[in-house]
Amino acid sequence: MILADLKFIQVEFGSLPYKNLISFRYSNLRAPLNLEWSKADLEDEDKQFHFAVYLNNEIIGCCVLKKINDSKIRLRQMAVIGKYRGMKVGTYIIKKAEDFCQKLGIIEIEITARYYALQFYKKNGYTSYGDIFIDVTLESVKMKKLLNNNTNV
């Protein structure tokens, strides 16, 4: 797998690619926990930004961005399909998501990170804060990163 072959595509809410993305998110983020979607998982998704990573025509990764206010956004629903984990696809997704945020003028990204993925986010410049808590059955922690918006992007 070559990172240059990946395509980071914004997907329109309600479209067929969005439905495929929901199915990908379910398989990679909810089914492994034996969970169905909760109402909170999918509410307000029409107001959020949805991204799929394609390798050829297959979705191999995803993330969703939810605007909190003019300067802050939440990165959620971040996943890479099992067979491509550990190959820097997650890092590629984070960088593309950050580029998108910078273009919107966002200065802070926040994440509710699964505790086991803490090192992944730390390696990408995110800092944890606050106590560990349970989210979707898993130990989780809040993390954030300030983007440098001094440069023209």
Residues that bind ligand COA (CB under 6 A): 28-29, 78-80, 85-91, 113-114, 116-117, 119-120, 123
Q: 103 or 123: whose CB is closer to ligand COA?
A: 123
Q: 73 or 78: whose CB is closer to ligand COA?
A: 78
The distance in angstroms from the start CA to the end CA of the chain is 28
Least Å distance between CB 125 and ligand COA? 12
Q: 8 or 90: whose CB is closer to ligand COA?
A: 90
Least Å distance between CB 31 and ligand COA? 11
Least Å distance between CB 38 and ligand COA? 15
Q: 88 or 144: whose CB is closer to ligand COA?
A: 88
Handedness of CA 46, 138, 132, 96 (dihedral sign): negative
Q: 1 or 104: whose CB is closer to ligand COA?
A: 1
Least Å distance between CB 98 and ligand COA? 13
Least Å distance between CB 135 and ligand COA? 9
SS (H, E, C) the chain: CCHHHEEEEEECCCCHHHHHHHHHHHHHHHHHHCCCCCHHHHCCHHHCEEEEEEECCEEEEEEEEEECCCCEEEEEEEEECHHHCCCCHHHHHHHHHHHHHHHCCCCEEEEEEEHHHHHHHHHCCCEEEEEEEEECCEEEEEEEEECCCCCCC
Which residue's CB atom is positioned nearest to ligand COA? 90
